Amino acid sequence: MAQIEATSASKVVILDFGSQYTQVIARRIRECQVYSEILKFDTPAADLAKRGALGIILSGGPASVYAKDAPQVDPGLFKLGLPILGICYGMQLMGYHLGGRVEHSARREYGAGQLFLKAENQSRKLDGRHCPLFRGLPEVLDVWSSHGDKITKLPRGFQTVAHTGNSPFAAIEDSRRKFYGLQVHPEVAHTPRGKEIIANFVYQICGGKMDWTMGSFIDQACAEIRDQVGSDQVVLGLSGGVDSSVAAALITKPSATSSPAFL
């Protein structure tokens, strides 16, 4: 069965680099009533351009950007003119491809911590409260981190907007190109106000609108299945897993004018 995409004008694409939290990112975006779509990390930029997305999120992942088999992006995505948010590995990868430097940290940052939007040493003149990612949020945030590498030199055009005790570049932005990076994980429950960070990216930076719901997606999915099947019948191998169970539920859902096409 062909993949079913939402026809909503608001869509954010997530490129998956193997993070255990990728599905959580997608859920957080959909909680904003904006459709999210997860694609393989090396999806060509030309394919991304055709999908009508308002923005792109680069997920975290277990690799190091310098590793021989590290997953990489098509560099062309940075020329699409779309807002991009890199999270953890996604941030490091963006920095690496755009001319910054990523290095292994002497101390791994894992677990609960704090993100500071203002520098403790005011001579650094760091004040990230202007950054649209953090609109409406306090200058100190409880966050969750899980990384061994970090950016140690910013790419040209970027500035730092927040730091942690271990990383001076824990949040970065290039406001002209609308590129943003977070070393912390806003998508997890252990970052209590992370939903607001993601919502700010979706609404304030990407310009997304609340025009998607799960109910509307179910109706659309059923309509597309009926169009594909027509008067034929469908044989479904039901394993009991999530994918086949959802497919069975959609196939057997009758419309107002027809019965399900199911064997």
| Number of domains within the chain | 2
For residues 64 and 120, membership in a common domain is answered with yes
| CB-count burial class (<10 Å; 0-12, 13-18, 19+) for 134 | buried
Residue 217 to residue 230: CA distance in whole angstroms: 20
Q: Does residue 97 carry a catalytic annotation?
A: no
Residue 80, pLDDT score: 97
Which is it for strands 159-162 and 140-153: parallel, antiparallel or unpaired? Answer: unpaired
Instruction: Answer whether residue 226 is part of any domain.
Output: yes
Q: Which of 131, 185, 206, 222 is catalytic?
A: 185
Q: Does residue 109 carry a catalytic annotation?
A: no
For residues 114 and 226, membership in a common domain is answered with no
Residue 13, pLDDT score: 98
Instruction: Answer whether residue 179 is part of any domain.
Output: yes
Q: Which residues contact 100 (CB under 8 A, 6 or more apart)?
A: 151, 153, 154, 155, 158
For residues 83 and 37, membership in a common domain is answered with yes
Instruction: Answer whether residue 263 is part of any domain.
Output: no
Cβ pair 39, 14 in contact under 8 A? yes
CATH of the domain at 77: 3.40.50.880
Predicted confidence (pLDDT) per residue in 208-263, tens digit: 999 887 666 566 666 667 667 777 778 888 887 666 777 777 777 666 555 555 44
For residues 220 and 134, membership in a common domain is answered with no
Q: Which of 88, 131, 206, 222 is catalytic?
A: 88
Q: Which residues of the chain have pLDDT under 50?
A: 1-4, 6, 262-263
Report the C-alpha dihedral over residues 103, 95, 69, 45, rounded to 10 degrees: 180
For residues 195 and 220, membership in a common domain is answered with no
pTM assigned to the model = 0.81
For residues 133 and 236, membership in a common domain is answered with no
Q: Domain of residue 54: give its range.
A: 11-205
For residues 199 and 219, membership in a common domain is answered with no
Residue 223, pLDDT score: 64
For tokens 């960070």, name the residue: 197
Instruction: Answer whether residue 262 is part of any domain.
Output: no
Residue 127, pLDDT score: 81
Cβ pair 36, 203 in contact under 8 A? no
Q: Does residue 222 carry a catalytic annotation?
A: no
For residues 231 and 147, membership in a common domain is answered with no
Tokens representing residue 2 in the block: 């062909």
Cβ pair 190, 144 in contact under 8 A? yes
Distance between terminal CA atoms of the chain? Answer: 16
DSSP code at position 205: I
